[in-house]
Amino acid sequence: MGTIIAQFLSGLAGAASLFLVASGLSLIFGVTRIVNFAHGAFYMLGAYVACTLANAWSGPLGFWLALPAAVAIVAVMGGLLEMTLLRRIYRAPELFQLLATFGVTLVVQDLVVIVFGADDLLGPRAPGLKGAVEIAGKAIPAYDLFLIAMSPLVLGLIWLLLNRTRWGILVRAATQDRDMVAALGVNQKWLFTGVFMLGVGLAALGGALQIPRDAVTHQMDLAIIVEAFIIVVTGGLGSIVGALVAAILISELNAFGILAFPKISIVLIFLVMAVVLVVRPWGLFGKPTSPQRPALGLTTQPWQPMRTSGRLLIAAAIALAALLPLGASPYVLSVGSEILIFVLFAASLQFLVSVGGLVSFGHAAFFGLGSYGAALLTTMLGWPMEAVLLAAPLLALAGAVLFAGFAVRLSGVYLAMLSLAFAQICWSIASQWVDFTGGDNGILSVWPAKWAAKPWAFYELTLVLAMLGVGLLRLATFAPFGFMLRAVRDSDLRAEAVGIAKAPVQWAAFVLAGLLAGVSGALFAFLKGSVFPDAFGVTTSVDGLVMVLLGGMGSVSGAMLGAGVFKTLSIWLMSATDYSKLAIGLFIIAVVVVLPRGLAGLRDLLPSRNLSRTKENRP
């Protein structure tokens, strides 16, 4: 009994920090509708600033003064970010927000290393709370009891702020109807800035309070943001009470899952979120949200088949790519194969996001399933590469069939988070099922057949499969199925009125995209000769989204261009600088702000293009 009580209290202490981060994230989304993936970066900054100040300020009050100082400093940073970047994308689709704030996360990761150093930092113990209290025969740290008391205190203060002040009334009104608040003469800009600073301050406080318990590292942002999103989505976006309940639920699952289910402890929290979203798509305490921004399909130009000149250009590009082995080194061919693999991966994601309007933040799940399918069939069953390339994508297809059955009931950020949960469940299984998947050691010796072992042969094989996959996606886009998918995307009610059922059409889109992502994953396994759990990682999904956005949301072939440019840039930056994350993050932010229509939109800036448009628009 003493062990159970101690574990329960440990879970409550962990819930306190998670609640602070999640409540700030929920508050920001409730008012601004910004899906702030950079929230974990502010949590990390709060920990770094508080640790630095607490170590610099000696005396018993140094630690307690460092906490509010860190919160204030990081809150000001958040306000500056809101005014310079986020105001530009308030009305943008969720995908643009996720990518922009993820770019901020990458930038902050490298800036932290530059400013604070690459080594982990250790914070001081909290003065006055260094001892332990015996409860049920177990020594419970006094600081953990202090953290447990923080959650209801912060919840009460937030409730008073939102319900007993004029500013809080305006915030709650903006949560319900932002346009009506603006019509009443309220300055939304400063209201949103204040809310964002408050949410960021809560995240910074959560990070600052952790310095006596854990080491401060430059990887703690991604670890906390995934759990924070799980809590916010499970509790309901915009619900502070929901954030507290979900934080306690998730923290206790973490605490007891390690004892009861050590081999699947990581999977439990993602399973809980997935079950909640399936049963109650808007979370435990959330409410269905009305659309606050145009759908992705409405931000693009009308879809048109490629003209003859465009087809000739694509054919010429493929012909030149096929001739690359004549003068390229083995390294260049290996890089070219990797680019082609991600061309197919990005094209499959572009089909979902752009044609179907299905925002997926976990497309890496299908990529990883294809990779692990190829690795397991090759190493455990000894299948030849030819058979593996046919069979391995079927594992991704099976995953897509299973996931799509639940995903078609959701939309927007809830769909994005469910897809993330699915990918993280796959990552958790790959990481913890060591006997089968090798865990973090991965699966090695995944080699292609002898005839494809030479770089030029594997490159040509990849080129053929990638072009066939992209061609299939393009054919589906302009087939009757593609028109039905776009009809559902633009208005599911109108589509239903003319006899187009939403669920089967979107289900088929997931299956097709998942299958082709599995093909790219299988090719990637043979290219690298090994597979690791990061094939399911968030970074893989984000890379695909950046490629889609860079190429152009409204361009069927834009993913090819986006994948080529982004992958080439990423490989070059990783070899050219130690701060590749900083450069890539700035690049992502620039693409979202400056080129929201991607590289394909540059053609509209040409004088000849503008002249032809003017002639078309004349009466």
CB 505 within 8 Å of CB 408: no
Give the model confidence (pLDDT) of 377-401 as tens digits.
Answer: 999 999 999 999 999 999 999 999 9
The answer to which of 261-270, 400-409, 427-436, 602-611 has the lowest mean pLDDT is 602-611
Does residue 228 sit in helix, strand or coil? helix
d(CA 89, CA 94): 9
Retrieve residue 563's tokens.
């994948």
The H or E element spanning position 335 is helix 330-350
Length in residues, the chain: 619
- In Å, how far from its chain's centre is CA 459? 30
- In Å, how far from its chain's centre is CA 378? 31
C-beta neighbour count of 608 within 10 angstroms = 8
Mean pLDDT of all residues in the chain? 85
Give the model confidence (pLDDT) of 536-557 as tens digits.
Answer: 988 899 889 888 888 877 666 7
d(CA 266, CA 258): 8
d(CA 514, CA 520): 10
**Packing angle of the helix pair 94-116, 412-432 (nearest 10 deg):** 50
In this prediction, residue 288 carries a pLDDT of 66
Q: Is 120 exposed, middle or buried (0-12, 13-18, 19+ CB in 10 A)?
A: middle
d(CA 275, CA 132): 38
Q: Is the pLDDT of residue 297 over 80?
A: no
List the one residue out of 157, 197, 206 whose CA is nearest residue 31: 197
Residues 6+ apart with CB under 8 A from 23: 154, 155, 158, 199, 202, 240, 243, 244
Section 263-269 average pLDDT: 70
Section 136-156 average pLDDT: 85
Name which residue leads in pLDDT, 604 or 379: 379
d(CA 344, CA 107): 28
SS (H, E, C) 83-138: HHCHHHHCCCCHHHHHHHHHHHHHHHHHHHHHHHCCCCECCCCCCCCCCEEEECCE
Retrieve residue 227's tokens.
């759990």
Most confident of 120-129, 261-270, 340-349: 340-349
| Exposure of 428 in the CB half-sphere (CA atoms within 13 A) | 18
In this prediction, residue 139 carries a pLDDT of 82
CB 80 within 8 Å of CB 237: no
Residue type, 237: L
**At 328, phi and psi to the nearest 5?**
-105, 150
Confidence of residue 371 (pLDDT cuts 50, 70, 90): very high
The answer to which of 117-126, 192-201, 251-260 has the lowest mean pLDDT is 251-260
Give the model confidence (pLDDT) of 93-129 as tens digits.
Answer: 777 787 889 899 999 999 999 999 888 888 888 888 8
CB 33 within 8 Å of CB 292: yes
d(CA 428, CA 264): 7
What is this structure's pTM? Answer: 0.85
In this prediction, residue 296 carries a pLDDT of 44
Give the model confidence (pLDDT) of 443-502 as tens digits.
Answer: 999 999 999 999 999 999 999 999 999 999 989 998 999 999 999 988 888 888 888 999
Q: Are strands 138-141 and 443-444 parallel, antiparallel or unpaired?
A: unpaired
Q: Is the pLDDT of residue 69 over 90?
A: yes
d(CA 359, CA 349): 9
List the one residue out of 617, 619, 470, 613 whose CA is nearest residue 555: 470
CB 211 within 8 Å of CB 47: yes
DSSP 8-state code for residue 216: B
DSSP 8-state code for residue 361: S
- In Å, how far from its chain's centre is CA 254? 22
Q: Are strands 530-531 and 443-444 parallel, antiparallel or unpaired?
A: antiparallel
DSSP 8-state code for residue 499: T
C-beta neighbour count of 10 within 10 angstroms = 20
| Exposure of 20 in the CB half-sphere (CA atoms within 13 A) | 28
